[in-house]
Every structure is written in C-alpha cells, then in structure tokens.
Amino acid sequence: MKLYIKYTKYLFMLLVLIAVSCSNTKPEIQYGFIQLVQYESDAEPEEYYTFFILAEDEDGFDNLEELYVYHDRDQLRWHIKSDEWISYKEDENNWIGTRRIAVNEGSLPQGTYRAVLINKGGEKGERSFTYDGSVRYPFPQINVTDGRYTVNSEWPVNRLVCYDREGNYSTTINLTSLTGDISNLNLPSAVRTAALWTEDTDNFCSAFTNVVSVR
C-alpha cells in the first residue's frame, strides 16, 4: 500500500512538471510605433510605413515566429515571418518589425492598425496603434559640389546617413547647418557616399534621398 501511494505521488508530480514545461504563454507587445517614410524615386516619392514593436515572450525571443499587421477599415493585411523581419536591441529591449509596408495603389491609409504577434506554440498577443501623421514639407534635396554640400529642406531635423565604398553603413551626422564644407563634418575616412535623412517627429514622418558622392 505504501509503495502504491509513493508511486501515485511520484506520478502526480511528474504530470505537473510535464504540464508546466508544455504550457504555452502568450507573447506580448509592450509598445510600438508607426512612421511614414518617403523615399526618393524618378517620379513622385515612394511611401512606406516603418513599423516596429517592442516584443516579449517568456520562452525567449527566438520563440517568436510571425507578425501580422492589419488595417481593418480598409481590409488590408501584411504578414511578416521571423526570417523576414528586422530585429534590433536597444537598452535591453528587443524590437522587431519592417521598413517596407506599402499598398499597391494610392496612399497608405491613416487610422488604426492592429498588430498580432504569434509564437511557435501558436499563442497570440495583440495590440492596436493609431497613425494620423501627414507629410507637411516638400521632399528635401541635397547637392555636393567641389567639397561643399547644400541642403534644400524645410524639415525640422536633417541628417546625413553615410556609407563606405561598398555601400555599408558607416555613421549618421546631424546637420546643424544646411550649407557648408564636407571637411567640417569630420566624416570617417571610409565614407564615400551619403543620403539626406529628414524627420518630422511631431507628424510621424521622414524622408530619404538617394545617395550622393561626398568624396
């Protein structure tokens, strides 16, 4: 009888451990942001959404598998798999998302977007975000001639995103003046090209020009 009771207790504890180890926890979306980004093109600027979420999962960041973004009013949906999304870590926080959400025709709609994050166990976490921003400034321009740069921009924030000869990212420079000598920007020696990146954080939008040669 004692042996049977001990066996029953052992079996019960084993089942509890199995249940705990196999339990699924929902992933969480702690925070997110949506920003409209314009990219220079031959005709009108191309528009995309930059969309990132602060994601958490008790079973680890690698347990996350899929991210869906919905604009329910216009019946739009985007699907981003773990091998497709961009991820980065900032202040111990894990961010995932994409810089390329677009529609086939017309402008990207404003309003409420709904993000659904799914882990490998099929558990879902959901959160809604509102984007009501708008582009209020003309598309910016940059010109570099004879070692001097000239920026034509009405945007509140202007930066140079710099690249080396192979096109690899090097550094980002905040421009305090819209004109000046390239030599005064103290660019790293490897930098060969740069794009102008302007931003209007109050209206959730930014713009990128094509790269130009700076050396």
Give the pLDDT of residue 192: 95
Q: Specify the DSSP class assigned to residue 138.
A: P
Q: Does 194 lie in the same domain as 154?
A: yes
Whether residue 89 is found in the same domain as residue 174: no
Name the residue range of residue 172's domain.
141-213
Element (H, E) at 111: strand 111-119
38 and 123 share a domain?
yes
The answer as to whether 145 is a domain residue is yes
- pLDDT at residue number 24: 62
Q: Supply the pLDDT for residue 21.
A: 44
Cβ atoms of residues 37 and 207 within 8 Å: yes
Of the candidates 148, 155, 168, the residue with the CA atom closest to the CA atom of residue 196: 155
Q: What per-residue confidence (pLDDT) applies to 8?
A: 53
Closest Cα partner for 27 from 149, 154, 121? 121
CA distance 205 to 134: 7
One pLDDT digit (tens) per residue for the chain, 215 residues: 544 444 455 545 544 444 444 446 888 888 888 888 999 998 889 888 888 988 887 777 778 899 999 999 989 999 999 889 988 877 777 888 988 877 777 677 888 999 999 988 889 999 998 888 789 999 999 999 999 999 999 999 999 999 999 999 999 999 999 999 999 999 999 999 999 999 998 888 999 999 999 98
User: Would you state the pLDDT for residue 92?
Assistant: 76
pLDDT at 169: 94
125 and 156 both lie in a single domain: no
Amino acid 186 reads N
Which among 57, 2, 4, 50 is positioned nearest to 26, based on CA atoms?
Answer: 57
pLDDT of residue 20: 43
* Single residue among 131, 163, 184 that ends a domain in this structure: 131
Helices (H), the chain: 2-21
pLDDT at 23: 47
Residue 112: which CATH number?
Answer: 2.60.40.10
**Cα separation of 198 and 206, whole Å?**
5
For residues 130 and 47, give the distance between their C-alpha atoms in angstroms, rounded to a whole number: 18
Among residues 76, 110, 131, the one where a domain terminates is 131
Measured between alpha carbons, how far is 100 from 123 in angstroms, rounded to an integer? 25
Tokens (6 digits) for 39: 């990219």
